[in-house]
Structure 1
Amino acid sequence: MSYRLILTHLKFKNWPFALKLSVIICLIVLIVITAISINSYQLYKKSMQEQVEEFVPRMLAQINRNLDDYVNEMLTVYRTILSPPYNQFLNGFFNNSQEGGNERDILHTFKLNQSLVGVVLYTASGSAYVRSAEAASWMDATYEKEPWFQELQSEKEEPSVLGIIRQQYVVNQPYTFSIAQPIHDAQGKIAGVLMLLGSLEAVKQIVQQIDFGEGASIDIVDRHDRIVYSSGSDKTGSLWQPLEGLFPDKTKADSGSQLVSVGDKDYVISYDSSSNSRWKVVSTIPLDNLSKRAGTAQSRFAIWSLAGFAAAAIIISLISYGMTNQLRLLSRQLQPESDLLPEELSGAERRDEIGHLSKAFRDMKYRIHKLDKEVLEAKLLRREAEIQALHSQMNPHFFYNVLETIRMTLVRKQPEKAEEALIALGQLVRYQAAKMADMVPVHQELSFISNLLSIQKLRFGDRLHVDYHIDPESLDCHIPGFLIQPLVENALKHGISDYDFTLQIVVRVQRDESDLVIHVIDEGMGMTPERLEHVLHAMREDGTADNRIGLTNVYQRIALLYGGRGEIHIESAEGSGTIVMIRVPAQHPSDGGKMKDEHLDC
């Protein structure tokens, strides 16, 4: 199969109808499944993002509530200290002009624990008493110089949650959570400042169990935008600058989530602000963390989509081939090599459009088959009549040539040879009467040619030389009677050599596989290419007008008897002679002289 033919078969318009139908429907199903899968994936991804944007703020709100509980616990401790009977120790401490007052009472009053890691009592005289887990001591410190003191002045008789501050009082804890409040004397003047220092470890314990995946972070920021805790890095005490200064304006609200793009990455920022401490808890989650889960879902969507498409393709193919089965049957019946007759068709009768089409086609084929049979019978009768007419047309021409030869023998006063010629003529007439309408064996046709040439020998004498090259396997093959005779007569007429006026004729009969090949060769004057083309044209059209009855008869008999399976070919060159070749199917004697549709060996 050639490359061009393969490309032709690959074209969509040349595909079988069932395959076209299956492919088109499968493509539609694939588009629908793909659209549904993509839409489902997008909805799933969006749903996950919405769930994260809704769930994470709730989690952050819970963290804020825990932080508020921690702050409230510290405030409770603070308020307890300022309540009787503990407040008398503080009043005595600040009212006593001597440094320290009664330190034993102070040490007994402030009991430290894991949350409360230190207490600082600032006096108006510029000193501070520091109570920590390691020791208790006096230090030089003025509260008025501290940056947080201005904030205390705005508060009215309430503890102030300062958030995170840097201090040097508690060892190994440079940053602490602090609550402070000025202590006033009886005249309403500030006698000092009480500050409680809380541990940040409690804050870490609240959030350290929460993990939003790789690259995510949780930041706790006080009301001054200083970092209390950061899971991403140790930035405690530094100014909070999330995502290189990019932060959604909506974080001014109490709680929410927003998608923020930084460079080529997207982040989901969720936040929650405490109305009590005014601290913010902010989570930064890379959108890729959500995409990983969405990617897993996408893979599952893809697998199920492919499985669904494969199942749909199988079902569609079965349905398509079932629906077009009747069309394929009709298509096979339309093929030239189909031998199915309408009455031989099987299959359940259908009531749909295809069933009606199939029934109409069967009826049409039955009528065509009947008409074709009638036309074939008429054609055979016409062919036999034409062959008989050709024989009748050939006989006068043949007898005229023979009688003319006998007449020339008598003119030369050779009665003995004329008698021999008449005897040969009688044998020819008997052969013609017996075999005129039949297929004859090759050996009988050659015997007829031999008698014919013996008569012509009287005319040409020693100038006539005939060579026979006969394949023994061809002797029993059958050919139409008088098929070779017109070719031999043409060789006798046109085969005289211009050099020595002799006649050299070669008759060759050979088998070529399933064909029989006959050559009649002469060494006469030959023909020019123009003359040869004219002879071939006259032979194919109608040579009777050009006095070429014999050659035209042979051509027409081959065409009528063998159709496209027989041929006659002529080669000639001026001054070199002519070769006439006939190729016909070799037929076995059992054919009984009748033509068959298949080639049969002898």
Structure 2
Amino acid sequence: MRRSRPVSIKTKIILICMVVIVLPITVMTISSYRSSERLLERNYKRIMEDLGYQTSIRIDDFLKKIEKISLLASTGLSGSQSATGDGSDPVQDFLREGGEPNTTLAYNNLMTYIMMEDRVFSIYLYNLNGGPDLIVSPNSPVHEAYNVETELWYKKFMHDKERTITLTTRVDEQIETKPLAVSHARKIYDSSSGALLGVIVVSIDIKFVENVNRNLQDTFRSNYMIVDSEDKIVYSRNESLIGTLFRANVRPDEKRNIVVTNRLGQKDWMTYLYMPKSELTNEGRLLGRNLLLLAVVMVLFAAIVSSFLSSVIARPMKKLMNNIVLVEKGHFERVQQINARDEFGQLSQRFNKMADELKRLVGKIQQDEIEKAKTEIRALHSQINPHFLYNTLGSLKWIAAMQQSDKIVDMTEALISMLRYASRLESPLVTIREELDNVDNYITIQNVRYYDSIQIRREIEEPLLDYRIPKMILQPIIENAIFHGFAELEEEGCITIRIYSIQADVAIEIHDNGAGMEEETVRCLLESWRTGTEAEARGIGLFNVQRRIKLHFGERYGIGVASSPGEGTTFTFLLPGIS
């Protein structure tokens, strides 16, 4: 588990100052800021409701004028009189009879309506009586090749029985610039016969909404939209949103925005005027900056106070902590004296006395451990497998019985060399060459017993023969291979010794072609070396060798085992390269 970092005295002093000084002022300032923000929000919403209502009235008035113009133009009336003063209807005359005079009269009549409304409307008269159409647009060039009969709305309108239709925002294809427009279409019937003569369309550029609420946009930097009964956007400053669903795109979140809605009286449309609360006024930002400035001043004041207090309290405490760290690392001689007449001084004196006593005890324990390790190494050196001696003596007795004196001489010389080698106490380390000579003596004795059935092969890097290793570490491995690996082997046993370098270390492999071991047996063997005592470990000789290597060189070095049933066993020594 990861330990949490301790909190210093200086940090605690700063936190206390923050709580006692800064927190109350911060709470009061934030409370005042929130109250002012809510008051500003209510005032702005009241203003936006008034302006939104006025804007909706003006827009509604424009939509009413569209219907009124289409009605008056289609009947040729203005109030209670005909448009020409003689009772004739220029529009119906144009649709019925055509001709230049009727065209001129109809054009002038329609242009009169447009001029009365500041040239913001366009009027299209589509003839269903075989004559030409009449397009009256005061501001933009007309698309002469446009055919209204290809429009879906027109086909549906002609198929239905409705006399009028209001079209929401669409591209006005009749004008070359193709502006977005709101239109009202009306069927014109002959006042005498009742026959359908044509269709009149009164169109108004959607930008008229911008003219209506321009001051509102500039003043409040807000958003204004018109949405129809199908929740489609009729008007937005962002023209890419027109025609899309309002709820799926830009319906404002009332928690983050001031939202004002109004219903248009002429149509089943809704207007939305909204403004982000983050854009209320500069006064709110000014109050926030003052709050931040006040917090910074309080933090600086707390830092100054904590710095002064730390010079009195935290500094001797820090020195004492440094002394504790030095003692933990064993640097007893670097412990500093704290010259103070208060409790910190007394604590420092007692701690220094404790450190001196601890230094003495640690030195004594280290010396005891060294002596213990030397004693254990000497004890391990003195252990010689009694089975080996018994087996050798048994072989001598058997050979003597057979009267083979030459073999007795060879075995006796080899045994004497081995006993002399094992009893040498001048150094715990010998050269690899000397250790291999001892192995040769041991093989000489065993070959007499096993009728020369044990072969030794060597693959050695010649410069490594003068490297030094612990004494008597190879013979127990050879003995293990003979008595356990070759016990049930019918053919000759072969032991291969490989010695090579691995960077600064030396590796010694001893491989036999004996019976081998199961994977579970290998695992249990290694586990017993790692956790068991000498009495509990499997293979006392191997355990002693492993123990001696780790006592000499540390946990990084030791013996590894690899074995497979029927393929033999390989013991690998990893030792430091000591030349």
Q: Whose radius of gyration is greater, 1 or 2?
A: 1
